[in-house]
């Protein structure tokens, strides 16, 4: 155990030396109200264990602000929508008879920090604190004086939310065993949830700092004095009894595993060792500081730091790294799970990780390829060891192309191309919400997905972008035939462009089309019963979900979401002047949905037409108004940190066009931002007048920069981008426009 | 434990009362040589635990006649081909240093009975005996005098066979724990095998009758004194040491579970209880007698009894019943696994179970529907909790239609129809070898599967039959539109009938066709590399496997395999006279593959043309020549008992046309055969001159029967079929021909 103690002492001394670390500005409560759905509990970066409160009524993160707490469970996701996932192995301290165990309680005096969560359970005045490692957690409960102090461990618990959409988790099995007088082990098997995944099993091994004086076990609520409640497809629990003095602390140290209870015990011993609560807490903090110290922003505003570092923090909660703990196959490749969903994260989170933690990004892509090798398809989303769901395109294609154009090494790109071509060519059939591309028979024959299939509009648009990614990789690997083939398909979005459709004087919209080629002007969207079952005649403002023509956005939004071929988009819209006006209308009339991914890139279209100042107007508006320190301070679901990463990029002053080797310069939020790139390299963005918005001129490493975009190499090799600011809009960036298909950088 | 003792005493006294039970004639070695691939070890009917020897070199059943034994493992299948499955948790007794543990040994003095297997391991002169319950086993090892007696438990072992076809199992994970001085627990996780299934886990809990005096554990072969070798994706073992006197017996009692080690312990305790080896062995025998006593044949020939009851025994080894032990979901429906494969068993095994054990047949169909409900597709084959593979049609359709026309109650036929229509309408896409129907896009548009897809010939033929099953059920449920639709599709086999193709003077064969409608006379079959990688120009004699036009048979065979529309087949072949000659050629020139399912029904085509005596000629030839008491006494793979069930039916004197409510009468092998139908009902078939082959006339319950077929009700309600025999061929049966589409009994 010496290693851990030593490690801790080094970390701690470092922690004391530097006063205010970036991690100190993390506020995990941001996004826990409203639609953010962020997880406020304790986690490592990429942490497999996410220990936090589960509240009555349940939610995606388990947590409900001002709700009532049922207990603290060890597995969660952050920022997701739809049916909830995880919430396994719940622990609840309480006072009273064991039959009181089911009630939830109000809570107060909450504290949440990176790697730490604490609250007081009001009913019994028990202080509950918790911290974690990557695969274990410590609960520290401070009890009042009582001879009826209890700790309930519920192996049958899981989050149950989303049943109205058929997306709730389903209990499969559980088991619990009381071992000696100070340990409990068992597991919980659960299936489904948002991704409709198969059964996953979470094993635990829990040790108590104080022997219990009695125990009761339960199977389907039936009390027993049996030490073992073996697996029989029923919910099992163990309730441990203690006599406590006033203020007495009992710790529960819990190892978690996806393989076995013995492995959970090993994880407990190897990651917690002899470390005490404060040491583990400090270690978790330092793990976060390793990430968050990679970007330093210059600002005196604590609120600004809080928003920035919390956004960055959110981007590193998921995916989770499970090392070799994939129960489905043996592989030398590190296992990552909870890609939830790449559809959300390919645009911002993964490009951000590519800059800050490229080795992790390589590991994640290799894990995706390992999934392809063993299960036949790259996931578009994955959780609980199972692919699902695919919302639109096969967006792992874009993640891979992004890695390739940015020169990430250590990836088998030939295998990756094979996996991407599988997406493009082999229909997943009945599994079309699970993986691959649905409606492929249409897309690969008609050049678009017809209204015979659901989500035919957003699918067509996203498949085009995915095909562009395939073309990119094929070109890079010297496969010209494939390049030509998929570059051609990358224009397929045009096949759903109804040039005569007119909205508010603007012509040309992505609209529904029948398989016979006719426009489907009477297209009826039938909502599922769970959504009210209403029928709507589709128009340019209609949004919807799975059964819709466009997934989660309107045609106003999707028609402008062509990041790989802006040049053609401009032409289709009637030229730069008309598109500029159309964008103005789009943003001014709030047709833009700031809270959702399809619009992430739209503000940058101005830059493609030499109107950098208009991009800046829109981006600045979002940065200033939509992201705050409030508990509802995130627009929409945080989506595994995709929203947070959008903020981080734009606050730094540049934004990636995922799958391409370019970043669009916006307007940095702070006077100076520095990225630590390792090996002593840094990339710094400065602006000379902090209060000014527009860019007048720029210098990159001392040389004038007349373009409003950067190449990856210019960032990753280190350097200095100096922006000279103006109070008024400028023409900067108009001289050299960003590349766009077919004048691509391919 | 009183229950068990009482049960045993009752069973035992019954066992003593009746001298020669039918089960005494079971010889599990039949089929263990040649292509039979039968499992000779100990099993219950439908038993989850199949405890038997695994031999060096490995095979589908684990066993190799005259091979060398590596040890005894707890899970097996019987009669399968392709890559091996299971062989989990291997136990090997030996004498010597623990490092000797890897070698295999010759064996002798074998005994195999229903529920019992014994052999002597020559190297160390250890007698190994074993018997089972449904979910546990007992090993009884008689050691020589030694202070180096060992029992190795290998949690990493699994059968490894079929790698040359990419069908071998892959190790995933294992764990082992030595508990106290007389128990060992752990698990083995393995994936793939023939069905390319996902990971399955077999848990065990083993108790020894004598405490061990020492142990060594292993992880990836590395010796250790650790009690626990926790899961880390490595192979783990435990080797236990004993001092034994000459002839000392050590018993290892092993519970098996698919849920957990605690459940395995529960299974051990609840099914073995305090029963001793002989009691468990007697109980297993009685379990078999419960099945095998359902048919009594009259013959003085021990060999005839041996062939008959062993055939019946083989039919009940699989599928296996795992009660609630399905780790993937919670359900009230009993879980059955190892449908391996329905493609093999729908014709004979399931119809046989429908007569003898209808409740079991209902349970199996409900399990199939439970799989559909939870995973989206009915399996065509399933093993290790995963669907796969589909060889041709979606033959669960036929199993369900067969149950429906035979009036089985307790099945949700509306749900079943939904599942069947899913097969028929929703392509499984990239999963087309796993479940559903591949090439569906062709089949549902062109009316046949074109050579764009593999196995397009056998698929088209089998889909037609499956569609006939859908039509049957739809009609029965009063859904006339669906009935008409699928009845129409049931004729799709005609679309691959090349009326000009001529072989040996016979015109009209199922031949390859391109998607543009042209016959593909230059169709090249490219064998996979594993099969030699050769290319063959397809003709009417070509057979093949996955990549072929016809799966496992030739066009000579498949062109006659239209059991649901014999009337049209006759017409297509040029009339009765020509088809009769063609059948004569087919059987006389050995174009008929007696060892494989596609030809199972072909002998009965004669009966559809009023030539019952020719059916009898062929069937009698097979019964007398192809099934013997020899170790290679089964033609081809036994296929989970499908071959055995073919024998049982025809030896009784009638044979089902699966999916239809009729049985074709052949010629019984014995003077009298009686089926016990329960509730005091019996159905008996007699023939008046045992040595004669042909039927001159028949009486059913005393009334003349002028047709050579029976309806299910005529059997299941009980009765007497008296056949009056002739030495010479007769015209019996020509008066009323069996029904055939479109003159069906629909």
- Kindly state whether A323 is in contact with chain B, defined as any CB-CB distance less than 8 angstroms: no
Provide the pairing of β-strand A694-700 with A719-726.
Answer: antiparallel
Q: What is the predicted pLDDT for the residue at B1?
A: 36
Q: Which of A260, A370, A434 to mutate to test the interface with B (most CBs of B within 10 A)?
A: A260
Which residues of chain B lie closer than 8 angstroms to A228, CB-CB?
Answer: 262, 265
**Quick check: A233 and B324 CB within 8 A?**
yes
| CB neighbour burial string for A546-559, b if at least 16 within 10 angstroms, e if fewer | bebbbbbbbbbbbb
Full DSSP string of A231-274 = -SSS-EEEEEEEEE-TTEEEEEEEEEESS-HHHHHHHHHHHHTT
A330 interaction partners in chain B (CB closer than 8 Å): 170-173, 233
Backbone angles phi, psi at A50, to 5 degrees: -130, 100
> What ipTM was assigned to the predicted interfaces of this complex?
0.92
The two three-digit tokens of residue B708, written as one number: 């050579």
Q: Give the contacts of A512 (CB within 8 A, at least 6 positions apart).
A: A451, A456, A457, A496, A519, A520, A523, A538, A549
Closest chain B C-alpha to A328 CA, distance in angstroms: 5
Which of B135 and A547 is assigned the larger pLDDT? B135
Q: Does A228 touch chain B (CB under 8 A)?
A: yes
Nearest chain A Cα to B377, which residue? A430
pTM: 0.94
Position B682 pLDDT exceeds 90: yes
Q: Low-confidence residues of chain A, pLDDT below 50? A: 1-18, 743-746
- Structural domains of chain B ordered from first start: 2-292 (2.70.98.10), 295-664 (1.20.1610.10)
CA-based nearest residue in chain A for residue B200: A328
Average pLDDT of the segment spanning B257-274: 97
**Whether A562 contacts A608, CB under 8 Å:** no
Asked if B199 lies within 8 A of A430 by C-beta distance, the reply is no
Report residue A309 CA to chain centroid gap.
16
Cβ–Cβ below 8 Å for B432 and A429: yes
CB neighbours (10 Å) of residue B625? Answer: 10
- B175/A432 CB distance under 8 A: no
Q: How far B492 CA sits from the closest chain A CA (Å)?
A: 22
> Within an 8 Å CB–CB cutoff, is residue B34 touching chain A?
no
DSSP B49: -
Q: Which of A594-603, B199-208, B247-256 is the least confident region?
A: A594-603
Which of A177, A266, A431 is nearest residue B262 as measured by Cβ atoms? A177
Distance between CA atoms of residues A630 and A115, nearest Å = 20
Q: Which helix (H) or strand (E) holds A282?
A: helix A277-292
Report chain B's mean pLDDT, rounded to a whole number: 94
Start-end of H helices in A496-599: 555-558, 566-572, 576-588
A259 CA: distance to closest CA in chain B (Å)? 6
Question: What was the pLDDT predicted at B97?
Answer: 87
pLDDT in tens, B553-571: 999 999 999 999 999 999 9
Chain A residue closest in CA terms to B259: A231
pLDDT of residue A18: 46
Contact A329 B228 (CB under 8 A): no
- Contacts with B, A 235-264, CB within 8 Å: 257, 259-260, 262-263
B233 and A172: CB-CB below 8 Å? Answer: no
- Residues of chain A found within 8 Å of residue B233, distances taken between Cβ atoms: 324, 330
Mutation target among A177, A259, A331, A418 for the B interface, most CBs of B within 10 A: A259
Whether residues B436 and A429 touch (CB distance < 8 A) is answered with yes
Q: Scan residues 410-469 of B and list those with Cβ closer than 8 Å to A.
A: 422, 426-432, 436, 441
CA B436 vs CA A51, B195, B378: distances in Å = 41, 14, 7
Sort out which chain A residues have CB atoms less than 8 A from B376's CB and list them: 430-431
Which residue in B265, B266, B430 is closest to A429 by CB distance?
B430
Rounded to 5 degrees, what are φ and ψ at B214?
Answer: -165, 165
Residue A251: name the closest of A312, A217, A210 by CA. A210
Number of helices and strands in chain B (H, E): 19, 34
Buried b (16+ CB within 10 A) or exposed e, B241-271: ebebeeebebbbbbbbbbbbbbbbbbbbbeb
Nearest by CB to A262, which of B170, B230, B422? B230
pLDDT at res. B14: 46
Nearest by CB to A328, which of B198, B328, B429? B198
- Per-residue model confidence as pLDDT tens digits over B291-313: 999 999 999 999 999 999 999 99
| Partner residue facing B430 (CB), from A177, A426, A441 | A426
Contact of A300 with chain B, judged by CB distance below 8 Å, is answered with no
Alpha-carbon distance B699 to B721, whole Å? Answer: 6
User: DSSP string spanning B333-382?
Assistant: SPPEE-B--HHHHTTTHHHHHHHH-HHHHHHHHHHHHHHHHHHSS--SSE
């Amino acid at each position: 155990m010496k290693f851990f103690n030593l490690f801790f002492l080094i970390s701690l001394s470092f922690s004391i030396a530097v006063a205010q670390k970036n991690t100190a500005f993390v506020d995990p409560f941001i996004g826990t109200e409203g639609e953010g759905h962020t997880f406020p509990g304790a986690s490592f970066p990429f942490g497999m264990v996410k220990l936090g409160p589960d509240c009555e009524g349940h939610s995606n993160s388990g947590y409900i602000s001002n709700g009532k707490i049922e207990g603290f469970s060890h597995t969660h996701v952050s920022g997701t929508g739809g049916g909830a996932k995880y919430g396994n192995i719940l622990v609840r301290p309480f006072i009273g008879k064991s039959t009181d165990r089911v009630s939830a309680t109000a809570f107060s005096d909450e504290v949440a920090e990176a790697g730490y969560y604490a609250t007081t359970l009001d009913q019994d005045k028990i202080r509950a604190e918790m911290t974690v490692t990557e695969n274990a957690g410590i609960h520290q409960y401070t009890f009042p004086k009582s001879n009826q102090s209890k700790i309930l461990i519920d192996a049958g618990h899981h989050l149950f939310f989303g049943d109205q959409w058929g997306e709730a988790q389903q209990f499969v099995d559980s088991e619990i065993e009381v071992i000696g007088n100070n340990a409990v082990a068992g597991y919980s098997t659960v299936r489904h949830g948002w991704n409709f995944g198969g059964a996953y099993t979470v094993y635990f091994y829990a040790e108590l700092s104080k022997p219990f004086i009695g125990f009761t076990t339960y199977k389907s609520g039936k009390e027993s004095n049996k030490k073992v409640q073996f697996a029989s497809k029923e919910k099992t629990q163990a309730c441990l009894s203690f006599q406590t003095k006033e203020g007495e602390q009992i710790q529960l140290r819990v190892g978690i595993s996806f393989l076995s209870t013995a492995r959970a015990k090993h994880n407990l011993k190897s990651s917690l060792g002899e470390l005490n609560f404060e040491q583990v807490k400090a270690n978790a903090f330092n793990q976060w500081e390793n990430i968050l110290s990679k970007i330093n922003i210059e600002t005196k505003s604590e609120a600004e730091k809080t928003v920035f570092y919390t956004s960055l923090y959110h981007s590193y909660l998921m995916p989770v790294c499970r090392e070799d703990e994939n129960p489905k196959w043996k592989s030398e490749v590190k296992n990552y799970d909870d890609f939830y969903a790449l559809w959300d994260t390919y645009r911002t989170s993964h490009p951000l990780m590519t800059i800050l933690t490229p080795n992790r990004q390589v590991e994640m892509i290799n894990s995706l390829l390992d999934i392809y090798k063993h299960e036949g398809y790259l996931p578009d989303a994955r959780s609980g060891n199972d692919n699902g769901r695919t919302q639109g395109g096969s967006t792992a294609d874009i993640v891979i192309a992004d890695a390739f154009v940015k020169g990430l090494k250590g990836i088998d790109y030939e295998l990756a191309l094979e996996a991407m071509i599988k997406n493009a060519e082999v229909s997943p059939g009945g599994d079309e919400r699970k993986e691959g591309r649905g409606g492929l028979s249409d897309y690969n024959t008609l050049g678009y997905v017809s209204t015979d299939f659901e989500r035919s509009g957003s699918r067509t648009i996203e498949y085009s972008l995915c095909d562009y990614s395939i073309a990119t990789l094929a070109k890079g690997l010297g496969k010209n035939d494939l390049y030509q083939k998929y570059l051609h398909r990358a224009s397929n979005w045009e096949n759903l462009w109804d040039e005569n459709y007119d909205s508010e004087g603007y012509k040309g919209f992505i609209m529904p089309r029948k398989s016979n080629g006719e426009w489907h002007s009477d297209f009826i969207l039938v909502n599922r019963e769970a959504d009210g079952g209403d029928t709507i005649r589709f128009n340019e403002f209609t949004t919807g979900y799975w059964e819709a023509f466009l997934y989660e956005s309107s045609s106003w939004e999707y028609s402008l979401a062509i990041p790989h071929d802006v040049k053609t988009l401009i032409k289709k819209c009637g030229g730069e002047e008309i598109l500029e006006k159309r964008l103005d209308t789009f943003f001014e009339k709030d047709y833009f949905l700031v809270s959702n991914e399809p619009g992430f890139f739209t503000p940058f279209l101005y830059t493609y037409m030499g109107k950098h100042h208009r991009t800046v107007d829109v981006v600045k508006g979002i940065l200033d108004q939509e992201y705050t320190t409030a508990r509802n301070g995130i627009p929409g679901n945080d989506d595994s940190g995709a929203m947070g990463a959008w903020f981080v990029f734009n606050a730094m002053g540049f934004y990636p066009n995922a799958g391409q080797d370019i970043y669009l310069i916006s307007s940095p939020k702070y006077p100076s931002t520095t990225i630590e790139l390792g090996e002593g390299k840094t990339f710094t963005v400065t602006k000379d007048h902090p209060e000014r918005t527009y860019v007048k001129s720029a210098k990159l490493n001392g040389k004038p920069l007349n373009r409003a975009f950067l190449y990856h190499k210019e960032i990753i090799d280190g350097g200095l981008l100096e922006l000279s600011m103006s109070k008024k809009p400028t023409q900067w960036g108009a001289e050299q426009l960003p590349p766009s298909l077919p004048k691509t950088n391919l």
